[in-house]
Amino acid sequence: MKKLLGIFVFLLFLYVCILIATNPARWANNHFNLGQRIGLSGILCLGAGLLIITGGVDLSIGSVVGLCAVVFCWLVLRLQVWVPESVPEGLVDSMGTWILPFLIFSLATLGVLAVAGLVGFFNGILVTYVRVQAFVVTLCGLFLYRGVARFLAGDEIPRIAGSVADLNEFFTGEFLEVPIYLWLLLVLFAITSVFLHLTIFGRYFYAIGSNERAARYSGIGVDFYKVLAYVLCSGFAGIYAVMHVIHFNSVVPSETGSFLELYAIAGAVLGGCSLRGGEGSTVGMIIGATILVLLPNLTNMWGIRSELEPTVVGGALLICAVIDELLRRWRAGRG
């Protein structure tokens, strides 16, 4: 709780700095844009945080995003042809203007989640049953999934903008003056919070991360839940990929998702998840994701050159990590 309080105070400090640096006439627009970015970034941090709590790590998140984005484009473009041909003509004519696009979007999203789940299952099986180190498995996956994405797309940018124009209009909109992406994150946050903090499965995640051997001796199906953590992590990456395509109307197979794994892990760790496992909360993950969004925005407000933005973000994260370690040693010394 003390750790959450510290990063929350840091978050408030960043927010106040942004308010001071922002022209009052642009407050509403800046807040809306920040809300959209937090909504997108938070999705990845939730997935990475769940895995980190079990003591795992996934360096292939960015490549999974790229692969799932390409798969989503591939499915949408083909379903636009297949679905009208497979549905009776009279039924197509009787459908509303939004029903057919919604059906195509739903089927494509289910396909993406299936692919993401298979990727997570593959990673988890190699880590748990084959006993290959998670770092090695996911680092290899970083290259493997990126190559598959480029192969499926023919290393070309899919022409998807026209196909997701209506979806883009909806998801880039707002409800009760809150961005739709932020509403989506809140829904995922609520579901993840219930799973992690209010169910026995979440307690298993913490037990495995705290002491895997003790969890195994106590009868917990350690391998099963570790595989589940990898599946969930990749599943969140799949959701992010769909939202990325809709938001940007484009996918670059060789670049989409690059370095996102680092931001996802950094956000979760900044929010209180320990890379040793067994620590973390969904509230902290959201706070960490928010800080990672506010920091670049603040550097832009202060006129810091864009080339130095990664340096500012990395420096801030390093300072937080050092302070956290010093506080940990201080508390251990007092105990």
Amino acid letter, 185 = L
Write the CB contacts of 80 (distance below 8 Å, at least 6 apart in sequence). 104, 163
Residues whose CB falls within 8 Å of the CB of residue 255, separated by 6 or more in sequence, listed in order: 66
Mean pLDDT calculated for residue range 300-314 = 74
Could you tell me the pLDDT band of residue 315, with boundaries at 50, 70 and 90? confident
Q: Give the global pTM.
A: 0.91
Name the more confident of 166 and 2. 166
Q: In sequence order, which residues have a C-beta less than 8 Å from that of residue 84 and are 6 or more positions away?
A: 92, 100
Say how far residue 267 (Cα) sits from the centre of its chain.
10
Q: Read off the tokens for 281.
A: 């909360």
Is it the case that residue 188 has pLDDT exceeding 60? yes
Question: Is the pLDDT assigned to residue 62 strictly greater than 90?
Answer: yes
Whether the pLDDT of residue 179 is over 80: the answer is yes
How large is the average pLDDT for residues 156-161? Answer: 84
Specify whether the CB–CB gap between 294 and 11 falls below 8 A. yes
- The model's confidence at residue 27, banded by pLDDT at 50, 70 and 90, is confident
Q: Each residue of 97-132: pLDDT tens digit? A: 567 778 888 899 999 999 999 999 999 999 999 999
pLDDT, mean over the chain: 86
Please give the pLDDT value at position 67: 96
**Residue given tokens 């959701």 in the structure block:** 239
Q: What is the mean pLDDT of residues 218-225?
A: 93
For range 47-58, the mean pLDDT: 94
**In the predicted structure, residue 83 carries a pLDDT above the cut 70:** no
What is the token pair recorded at 269?
A: 């760790």
Query: Please, are residues 29 and 297 in contact by the beta-carbon 8 Å criterion?
Result: no
Residue 95 confidence (pLDDT) above 60? no
Q: Per 3-state DSSP, what percentage of the chain is helix, strand, and coil (rounded to 5)?
A: 80, 0, 20
65 CB-contact burial (10 Å; exposed 0-12 / middle 13-18 / buried 19+)? buried
Tell me, what's the pLDDT at 328? 67
Report domain extents, the chain: 33-300+308-322
Say which residue, 254 or 297, is predicted with more confidence: 254
Residue 222 has pLDDT above 60, yes or no: yes
**Residue 177 CA from chain centroid, whole number:** 23
DSSP 260-294: HHHHHHHHHHHTT--TTSS---HHHHHHHHHHHHH
Residue 274: what are its φ and ψ, rounded to 5°? -90, 135
Name the DSSP class of 176: T
DSSP 14-83: HHHHHHHHS-GGGHHHHHHHHHHHHHHHHHHHHHHHHHHHTT---TTHHHHHHHHHHHHHHHHHHHHHHH
